[in-house]
Amino acid sequence: MIFGVVFFCLALTVDAGFFIDKSQVSRSLYKKVSNPYGKKYKEHLNRKIQEERQLKNKYPVSKLYFEQQLKRLNSQNISLQYNTILNHDESVQDEPLFFYEVFVDDTDFSNSYNNHKRKKEPPAKSENFEVVRDNTFKFGDVGGYHNVKSELLQCIDLLKNFEKYKKYNVRIPKGLILEGPPGTGKTLFAKALAGESGCAFIPVSGSDFQEKYVGIGSSRMKELFKLANQNIPCIIFIDEIDAVGRKRSGDGESSSNERDSTLNSLLVELDGFKNNTGIFLIAATNRIDLLDPALTRPGRIDKKIFIGLPDSATRKAILDIHIQGKPHEKSIKIDELVLFLEGMTGAQIENLLNEAMLNALRHDRTEFTGKDFDLVLNKMMVGWQPNEHDFTSDIIDHIAIHEMGHAIVGIFSRHHSKMTKVIINLSSPKSPGYTVFESSTANIYTRESLFEHLMILLSGRIAEEIFYGKSVTTGALNDFEEALKLAEKMVLYYGMGTNVIYPSTSDKYKGMIDSDITELIHKAYNSAEIILTKSKMLLKETSEILKREKYLDAETIQELINKNHKYLAELKV
């Protein structure tokens, strides 16, 4: 084991013009330290000191600089207290004052040194906040998001090497805001940043500043920053900052006044920051639009990083991390899971794997299977209840036909996301049947993709009408609600109606808007009806399989189409 120890060797100066006048430095500054390690250690140290003194580049230092270095080291719980180890027992008052760094790399003395010269100072404490030290959580424990990590690494450099940035007249950011949907890893990134930097970490929640007594929030904010100042370098993490940093309303209510007072205290503390304080504030929220502009303006928390849903590479990294230690059958392919889990957050992916393993252990199995995975996924999507719905056979027939209507139109939609599977789940408290499509992180859609989505929403009811005429169920309730909302957006907001823009919703234009929406829905209905009418035999056969198996994937449907040329002939629209 190589053990490195830094010793600071000091001696008095003789030249007041260039060095320090010895009258400026008190003799009490020096204290001879007894040598507990024996003659061999003293010879070893003397040799190192002589080598250091032979260097041409010697660094004279002032008392002020020496005291600053001691303060910095003491902040790291290395209490030197103006001690020095002398290389001989003679007087040192005729020696120049130098600052030596002598590294002792000798395992013979390492064990002795561990119990010598170093003592822990009691850490600053607080009744309301906890200082986390020795944080071992690093960026390697967070899967993917390499661009976010790269941005955060510069924040570490800002904390450690702020002099480098001051050299180029760069204003050091006082903090940053991590924004994004719930479960994307904002808290993990804050924790990992503290672990990578080696700084003290104080995690708090915005709700910690909310109490029934007036003035508590403001006093706690002051307490928080006082604690951070006592633990420099330090990272403060305020989760859900919108609870304390919400826009000031000025409505006069007592709750608003208390929140405004707390926010004002936060702003005052931020304005009190200096470029070299060693305090860095990280805030997290999924509602950045609620924050007061005074909090997010340049000069305060002006740095913002958006953490969105994971891309394929990040999902792969998240899966690799959380699947460790969870045995699974070989038929489960990670690459397929990566594609299937598109649109899920990291927290959802972790929970999915954890619940799948728990379900396997519940049934005395040491590996989770694809069925465990599907079962847990179904629970996440539509919920679960201990008792199945008591449906008649006729109603289950309607459910199967309805869902296969969605699925078949989805399969033959060229611009829509891919249909993956159809499920009948009689234990779901929400819907006894549902069709699953691949999720997408895209936020820009074409008119064709939206129109096909409108067709898919209407196709469940159309399938019921083809087989049962007017004897339909209420299963299309949610489908109709979504279809109407989509058609309204296409006409009013996306400019996909007769007119690109409607200047108002006055009586003059209401009739035109209603006409456009109705026409759009009718076109989608007619297009879906053509597909399902021509695929009636396929619809019947697949619904029987779904009713029997309670599950049917897109690959099985495609195989049925490929094997039966009559379906191909029917489906030429």
| Residue type at 235 in one-letter notation | I
Q: What is the dihedral of CA 454, 460, 462, 463, to 10 degrees?
A: 140
* Phi-psi domain of 560 (left: phi exceeds 0; alpha: psi -120 through 50; beta: other): alpha
Q: Three-state SS across 234-266?
A: EEEEEECCHHHHECCCCCCCHHHHHHHHHHHHH
Q: Which residues contact 403 (CB under 8 A, 6 or more apart)?
A: 422, 423, 424, 433, 434, 435, 460, 543, 546
163 classed as catalytic:
no
Catalytic choice (196, 350, 403, 529): 403
Q: Residue 532 burial (CB < 10 Å; 0-12/13-18/19+)?
A: buried
- With tokens 């189409």, the residue in question is 561
Which residue is it, tokens 């449907």? 557
Region class of 81: left (phi > 0), else alpha (psi between -120 and 50), else beta? left
Give CA–CA dist 70/82, Å, rounded. 8
Residues 277 and 226: their CA atoms lie apart, in Å, by 12
CB 495 within 8 A of CB 417: no
Question: How many CB atoms within 10 Å of residue 252?
Answer: 7
Q: Provide the β-strand partners of residue 291.
A: 246
Burial degree of 73 (CB within 10 A; 0-12, 13-18, 19+)? middle
The alpha carbon torsion through 112, 113, 117, 122 (nearest 10 deg) reads: -90
* CB proximity list for 502: less than 8 A, separation 6 or greater: 491, 492, 509, 512, 513
Both tokens of residue 553?
Answer: 């994937």
Distance (Å, rounded) from C-alpha 565 to C-alpha 560? 9
DSSP result, 514-530: HHHHHHHHHHHHHHHHH
Dist. CA 543–CA 332, nearest whole Å: 27
3-state secondary structure at position 566: helix
Inter-axis angle of helices 393-411 and 554-563, nearest 10? 80
User: Do the Cβ atoms of 343 and 311 come closer than 8 Å?
Assistant: no
- Which residues, 6+ apart, have CB-to-CB distance to 165 below 8 Å? 158, 172
Q: How far is CA 477 from the centre of its chain?
A: 36
- Catalytic residue positions, numbered: 403
